[in-house]
Amino acid sequence: MTISPAGQPPGDWDGPEPHEPSDAELLGAWPDPFAGPPDGADAWLADLSVPELERLAERWAAENGAGIDVIGAGFTHATSGDAAGAVGFAAGGALDVMAPDPVLAGFASDAFESGLAGLSDDELVGVLCAARRLSSWQAWMEFSAVAELDNRRRVARGIGSSRTAEHVNDELAAALTLTGRSAEALLVASRDLSRLPSVLAALKAGVIDRAKAGVFAAELAGLPDRHAQVIAAALWRPAAKMTTGQLRAELKALALMVDPEAARRRRERARDEARVEAWQEGSGNSGLAGRELPTSEAIIADKRITAIARELKSAGAAGTIDQLRAAVFTALLTGRDPATLLPGPAPDTGSDTGSGSGASARARAGGWPASITGAVNLTMPLRTWNGWSQAPGEIAGLGPIDADACRDLADRLAASPRARWCLTLIDDDGNAAGHACARSGPGSAPGKDPPKPRSSGPLPPSLATWLRSLSVEWLERGTCTHRRQVDGYRPSAALGHLIKIRQRTCTSPGCRQPAAGCDLDHTVPYEQGGVTCECNLGPLCRKHHQCKQAPGWHLTQTSPGSFTWTAPHGRAYEVRPRSYSS
């Protein structure tokens, strides 16, 4: 379990808020609201697409009795496939950063009509990104139109002249050929987004896509308008560089910080909907899941299934860990001994034709783990553990959890003699700055109880004593001093632990695989002179470890913990450690 001394919400995000143009701006003196006032007499020509320029040139030539070959100043444009990338979609080009509007749509259409084969990899990715921004702009139009229709029906109902407000979803289903459930989902999303103007503006500007807008709507639905708008305003810009999974985790964490009581009420209400669901998979098989379960119990059950599956695997059972987990799950629920999954005679025969290992003997004797077994990586602020704060914690691979659930799980972990306790000190940006490990947690020594929630006052003596007993290792920052470098290929256990504390997940862009389950990769391969040190190590899941080694990919570590990935199409993507305070 990792505990950190912070847990404060991130500071204000810099930069301007998204701007919704007023009617006066849209209907002003200039006929094209997307172009704005020109810089010069011919500046408006720069906003025209290639076919538009050609048609204009032909018309000018016809009107002036001149051949089209004499058209020169003011009509210069690049044709598709220009090696210089003047088509504008290359990284950093005008079209690569242009907000979605009819002008960008025209240039994108030109690129498709001229043939994508004529574009470089870089330009092709630029066109792809432009298409995604245009789809965001179209999604904004759809949500806005749904909201306007919904508002009209509400107004009509308010004056007593219509009951159609009760059937807006039916109108949408008929107009868009949707199922009733899909139409209802569209209407709910539109209503949820209508109270988040910054999210709608970001969607219109192509900063986020439709899927991310949906995450904003769903995760903030249970909060009061004011709290939801504050969180949306803080995250709409950073969301541009997040996956939907990363964004959902950030929204959950901020919602728990801003309104922990609302989160607690929501969790308790949902507990009334606890259930087990069964359904048919598309393959013809079936699925079974428990929903709205207590967090600590669900985690313990999951870890116990994994532990039994690993025992069976080591004893010779066939199948992957995932396949064995599924088999153990159904065996326990149907009353069968998981030992029946082992090869050879049934357990009650006393014969052991399996591997003959200790695991096999324990399995056939029914010695399955009865408590938490394996790795449960809980990270929580020290103030939350001590009861001074309601700041949320996080379970690796699961996401943010509220303070009460943190303390409940921490109490269960403290009861295990094999629990490992760590303290991570963070800087002002929420990044790991120092780390210490201990054999037991604060107040978790034999015969002592974990800290009880407190609202104020000095540190409990047991906690103060525990903190003083720790020896903090400070992580490398900026220029590495190599003080923990080892000579061989394999890092020491202490060095590997520090790397995975610094980098909580795989270092590939967007990957949320917990570092605990990742390989420790040498950024510069060891056989090519790379050192085994904080400045040259980082966690990579197996998939992205293989990706790094594929032709065209390149990874550098510019400073300890800061990575730059370059993809085969030539664009670079920076990855920094994920903040502990988010």
pLDDT in tens, 211-262: 999 999 999 988 999 999 999 999 999 999 999 999 999 999 899 888 888 7
Compute mean pLDDT per 10 residues along the chain, 582 residues long, and list them.
47 46 41 44 52 60 53 35 56 92 93 90 94 97 96 75 72 93 94 96 97 95 91 95 93 88 80 90 92 87 89 91 93 91 65 45 52 66 76 79 80 72 82 84 52 58 78 90 94 93 92 90 95 96 94 95 95 89 60
Give the pairing of strands 519-522 and 537-540: antiparallel
Structure tokens at 288: 């079974």
- Is the whole-model pTM more than 0.95? no
Q: What is the Cα–Cα distance from 311 to 360, expressed in whole angstroms?
A: 7
Cβ atoms 325, 310 nearer than 8 A: no
pLDDT at 351: 43
Q: What is the Cα–Cα distance from 471 to 393, expressed in whole angstroms?
A: 23
Alpha helix ranges (H) inside 259-369: 260-271, 295-314, 321-333, 358-364
pLDDT at 409: 79
Cβ atoms 22, 13 nearer than 8 A: no
Q: Please, which residues bridge with residue 289 across strands? A: 277
Region for residue 140 given its phi and psi (left: phi exceeds 0; alpha: psi -120 to 50; beta: otherwise): alpha
Structure tokens at 231: 């969180």
User: Mind spelling out the 3-state secondary structure of 89-121?
Assistant: CCCCCCCCCCCCCHHHHHHHHHHHHHCHHHCCH
Q: What is the Cα–Cα distance from 401 to 451, expressed in whole angstroms?
A: 19
Cβ atoms 252, 400 nearer than 8 A: yes
pLDDT at 100: 96
pLDDT at 467: 81
Q: What is the Cα–Cα distance from 413 to 400, expressed in whole angstroms?
A: 17
Cβ atoms 252, 9 nearer than 8 A: no
Residue type, position 290, single letter? G
The three-state secondary structure class of 482 is: coil
pLDDT at 574: 94
Q: How far is CA 399 from CA 51, 263, 442, 531, 536, in A?
A: 50, 14, 24, 33, 28
pLDDT at 71: 36
pLDDT at 384: 79
Q: What is the Cα–Cα distance from 560 to 533, expressed in whole angstroms?
A: 9
Closest listed residue to residue 532, CA positions, set 503, 501, 566, 493? 493
Q: What is the largest CA-CA distance in the chain?
A: 104
